A and B are shown apart, each in its own frame.
Chain A
Amino acid sequence: MFKNYFKIAWRTLLKNMFSSSINIIGLSIGISACMVILIFVWYESTFDNYHTKAKNIYRVVQHNRVPDQTLYWNITPYPLAEALRNDFPQIEMVTQTQGPVSQEFSVVEEADLKRFEEPRVLFVDKFYPKAFDLEWISGNPDNALDDINSVVLTETIAKKYFGISDESYKSVLGKTILNQDDEPLTITGIIKNVPGNSNQRFDILIPYEFFKTKNPGLAQNWSGNHQGTTFVVLPNTTKIKSLESKIAVWQKKYLKYEDDKRISYFFQPLIDIHNETLYGSSPGGYIMPSNILYTLSVVALFILVIALINFINLLTAQSTSRSKEVGVRKVLGSKRLDLIIQFIFENSMVIIGSLTLSVVLLNILLSKLNENLSVIDLQLELGFNHIGLIILIGFSTIILAAFYPAFILSAFNPIKALRNKVQFSGNNGVNLRKSLVTFQFVMVQLFVIAAIIVSLQMDYFKNKPMGFSSDSVVVTPVPDFEKLEVYRQALLGNNDISNVTIASGPPMAVNGLQLGTRFRLPEQSPEEALDAEIKIGDKHYLDFYEMELLAGKSFTTNKHAFDEFIVNETLLRRFGWSPQEAIGKKIQINEGPATIVGVVKDYHNNSFQREITPCIITNWTFFQNQAFIKIGGNNVVTIDRIKDIWENTFTGSAYSYGFLNDSIEKEYVLERLIYKGFTILSILAICIGCLGLLGLMSYIISRKRKEIGIRKVLGANILEVFSFFTKKFIGLITLAFIIATPLVYYFGKMWLETFAYRIELSVWMFLSGGCLTLIIAIITCSFQSFKAAIANPVKSLRTE
């Protein structure tokens, strides 16, 4: 019996190649899209869950009440850890980390010196491996970080430095690498790479004591700007609130009076860190807000449900062609149950095919996603639990999508079935289908219009003038200030290099680096000071970045003690000065007083999400640690040349370089993620929506076959029949457009308002989205409508 079912199922599949592949592909797209999103959501919501003590670990955060607002910081003073450890025995463990920071290492191997710049070096105390789970490949976890000059490497680093194979990790233990060229560190452990879903990103661990000895001042400072991340491990029984209030009393012991008044410490559960926006991203990590994850899950379920509905729709639409078979089989003695089993079996084959395809598709999608989102170090994998979920989805799909059509089909009256007189559920069926398709197209248009808006905003980011020129600018570090002039001259000796400036950073703050200060008039009290950004430049700075000077002049000197300021218009507005008035005025910043010698036109010192803030450029030699090089001509050759010059000048340091525009673009990572997300979602939505439309059309066509026949016999031409069909769904899509537009308008406006500089929403964005959908829909349906339109009416009118 099953052999027979299988045979029939297989032949039907082959015969209806087109519609079966649409069915299979549609369902697998739906399932894999849903799964990708769910896996992503799962991944993003289980950050740091893998630690054994995850539920007991808390991060100490501080709320800092300044006059006009409260600042939420995820870092805390360095001495806090030690103090908590000493004074609160009820806290099981306190551990503190600093970083990750960028450090330079060199390895001497057989008289060959190799240098590496490592961007993710974390300083951790000896409690860290006890609180957090690290997978030790080699070395003793209990004392690996006890010695101040020890270092623990991850697998990748060990391989990179020593070129070893998997078995020989032990051989590396005891070897020495140099930190910043002078401090020898002994390798005491090798650990597995940190999983992608951790906020503790690092490649190398160095004892915290090492950092403290190097920075004794900072290590004892309770109120500095440079702070570490403090974690505590609390027993299950701890009452968090009461501990927090005890600490609020206790902190007076260490904090200055004014600090004690404005600062309070709280405990944030480790597992909440990744999805909580309040404290911002932890150093080296990123935040995935929980509301984005909720939205994504809902979207995932929507996609699955819609794919299922489409699947059922297509199946039942195809079932008209099976009615004769149902009739014959019934007449030949088939029971209804036999038919139900047969159709369930057949549909299950299609569903199982789709599931198999979706696993393949899912694998591809995941690797593409990992590749595309490498900025956030995404490591999505297909696990056994995911396969289980797919099987579960498949099972429910079979129940929903195989049983329903089977029951409908098997219920046909054999006499009517044999005479092609089967009526489906009447007009209700059509209306239900129509509303489902309309709903799908609301989604399609939502995503398409959203993608248009996001892409236009991205475009705006790209094309809006920043107020300074950033093209063809190469950035290199300047490790040795003494050799700065030599380096500059050597660079300028190259014809392809037109200008060089040495500064603390580019005009727009990138990579989260922004030096803050407070400014006031010398006669004002410190309390009246306002926030400003300070940049250290040289006499070429304005010139290099083509920034427009409104009054005064550029610097002529660089000094160990700065004496000149160039300020922006926004800063002047605080005092109500005109550019000309400002020249010669003295202002006071935290670092000291100086005279304003120039005023520049406002430029974007923050990325476009944020407003332009007061800005001070000064002629200081402190912090002049980056060289900006404007290149022309052949990039590759010039960049090689810069490398040569750099390595000749700063012997004994690791070279690195980057393009300024790349760094600027990184400021829009989240926006680009959203853009990518919407692009992918809109393509998916279009695919699924079109499949739904296809299903509806084949259903309508199968019902209207006779009507078309009659119309054609009565003289309708192909075009008229064609438009008879197209009219039907143009109405639906227009309705969907009308529903979608206010929704997108509302959410789009809300999203755009998070940017200080943004595009204005306009009618054509919506219209073009609507038209695009319509065109795609017409193309989708044209084949079927056309086929129906050119069909010979004699065939469709002939019955028994």
Chain B
Amino acid sequence: MLLQLNNIFKWVQSGGQRIFLLKDINLEVKEGEFISIMGPSGSGKSTLLNVIGMLDTFDEGEYHFLEDSVHNLKEKHRSNLYKEYIGFVFQSYHLLDDLTVQENLEMPLIYKKFKGSERKAMVADMLDRFNIVGKKDLFPAQLSGGQQQLVGIARALISNPKLILADEPTGNLNSKQGEEIMDLFKQLNDEGVTIIQVTHSEKNAEYGSRIINLLDGRMI
């Protein structure tokens, strides 16, 4: 068992009324799964993903990640937890514009206090694995969208997370680039990485082993 959500509620107060963003979510994710979260705009897909990624809090319910009860953890422990086990991939890549490909890859390692020589080796490995050695000194603006997302995924993977969370990873890409990225995800999943992706596309959802449909914050 990688993670388990029990009766998760999240709401905001608006004019004395509670507007539910997430309503009674129960979800269990095993290691090695590839889950697609689907649903119309505003159904709470991204919110759920952020809750799983511990970037967002929830108001009620329990969240167990491996051995830890996330709902009882302090901010600091929580961030240590996701730092260690979770990697994020975004629709608009969110690479740092001022850093080269190589430096972008290196950044999470810096925050995890890896030594310089180790970092170098790990970055070199990753560049190799993704076939982007030739692009290591380019800045994000010099890359195509597909290439940027490739770097984004490489960055998410560099510290060997157990779980990859991807928020519409192909949303900004054309269909061919999108396909390549999805293939990559599939391949990673085959290598044992657990993946949860948010997507609008039925086709992309098919890559996963399980589909979760959300409507108005509720799983259906």
Contacts and interface: CB of A to CB of B under 8 A. Distances in A.
B96 A328 contact: yes
Contact of A414 (B55, B83, B96, B112): B55
A329 B107 contact: yes
B96 A325 contact: yes
Interface stretch (B85-93, B182-190, B199-207): B85-93
A332 B108 contact: yes
A709 interface: no
A11 B99 CA distance: 8
A415 interface: yes
A11 B155 CA distance: 21
Nearest to B56: A415
B111 A334 contact: yes
A800 B42 CA distance: 13
Interface stretch (A1-9, A300-308, A596-604): A1-9
B107 A418 contact: no
A331 B76 CA distance: 13
A627 B83 CA distance: 93
Residue from B79, B94, B95, B112 having most chain A Cβ neighbours under 10 A: B94
A333 interface: yes
A331 B99 CA distance: 16
A11 B98 contact: yes
Given A4-B103, A418-B90, A800-B92, A333 B56 contact: no
Nearest to B156: A332
Given A8-B98, A333-B79, A415 B55 contact: yes
Interface string A412-430: 0011001000000000000
A175 interface: no
Contact of B94 (A8, A328, A334): A328
Nearest to A332: B108
Given A8-B99, A325-B96, A333 B90 contact: no
Interface in A1-51: 1, 4, 7-8, 11-12, 15
B103 A7 contact: yes
Question: How many A residues touch the partner, as a band?
Answer: 20 to 34
Interface in B66-113: 76, 79, 82-83, 88, 90-92, 94-96, 98-99, 103, 106-108, 110-112
Contacts of A543: none
B83 A333 contact: yes
Interface in A711-744: none
A260 interface: no
Contact of A1 (B56, B83, B110): B110
Contacts of B112: 333
A104 interface: no
Given A8-B99, A331-B88, A335-B79, A324 B94 contact: yes
A381 interface: no
Nearest to B94: A328
B55 A4 contact: no
A800 B76 CA distance: 28
Interface string B48-69: 0010010110000000000000
A12 B97 CA distance: 10
B94 A418 contact: yes
A77 interface: no
Contacts of A800: 91-92
Given A4-B107, A7-B103, A338-B111, A332 B98 contact: no
Interface in A156-174: none
A15 B108 contact: no
A4 B56 CA distance: 28
Contacts of A325: 96, 98
A327 interface: yes
Interface in B1-49: none
Contacts of B50: 415
Given A4-B110, A8-B98, A414-B55, A332 B155 contact: yes
Contact of A327 (B56, B94, B108, B110): B94
Contacts of B94: 324, 327-328, 331, 418
Interface in B92-146: 92, 94-96, 98-99, 103, 106-108, 110-112
Contacts of A331: 53, 55, 88, 94
A347 B54 CA distance: 30
A15 B99 CA distance: 12
A72 B64 CA distance: 90
A12 B56 contact: no
B96 A333 contact: no
A203 to B, nearest CB: 62
B105 to A, nearest CB: 10
Nearest to A335: B79
B68 to A, nearest CB: 17
A684 to B, nearest CB: 34
Contacts of A7: 99, 103
A190 B95 CA distance: 73
Nearest to B159: A333
Contact of B111 (A15, A333, A414): A333
A584 B99 CA distance: 99
Nearest to A14: B98
Nearest to A1: B110
Nearest to A414: B55
Nearest to A338: B111
A327 B88 CA distance: 12
Interface string A130-155: 00000000000000000000000000
A327 B111 CA distance: 14
Contacts of B155: 332
Contacts of A415: 50, 55-56
A462 B95 CA distance: 67
A220 to B, nearest CB: 85
A208 B187 CA distance: 105
Given A329-B107, A333-B79, A15 B98 contact: yes
A332 B111 contact: yes
B108 to A, nearest CB: 4
A583 to B, nearest CB: 92
Given A1-B110, A7-B103, A12 B79 contact: no
Contacts of A1: 110
B187 to A, nearest CB: 23
A327 B53 CA distance: 14
Contacts of A338: 111
Interface string A330-372: 0111110010000000000000000000000000000000000
B12 to A, nearest CB: 13
Contacts of B99: 7-8, 11
B96 to A, nearest CB: 6
Contacts of B108: 332-333
Residue from A325, A328, A332 having most chain B Cβ neighbours under 10 A: A332
A332 B107 contact: yes
A531 to B, nearest CB: 78
A415 B79 CA distance: 14
A334 B111 CA distance: 6
B69 to A, nearest CB: 21
A335 B82 CA distance: 12
30 contacts: A4-B103, A4-B106, A7-B103, A8-B98, A11-B98, A11-B99, A15-B98, A324-B94, A325-B98, A327-B94, A328-B94, A328-B95, A328-B96, A329-B107, A329-B111, A331-B55, A331-B88, A332-B107, A333-B82, A333-B83, A333-B108, A333-B112, A335-B79, A335-B111, A414-B55, A415-B50, A415-B55, A415-B56, A418-B94, A800-B92
Interface of A: 1, 4, 7-8, 11-12, 15, 324-325, 327-329, 331-335, 338, 414-415, 418, 800
Interface of B: 50, 53, 55-56, 76, 79, 82-83, 88, 90-92, 94-96, 98-99, 103, 106-108, 110-112, 155
8 smallest A-B Cβ distances: which pairs?
A: A333-B83, A333-B111, A11-B98, A332-B108, A328-B94, A334-B111, A331-B88, A415-B55
Given A4-B107, A338-B111, A415-B50, 7 more contacts: A8-B96, A8-B99, A325-B96, A327-B94, A328-B95, A329-B111, A332-B107
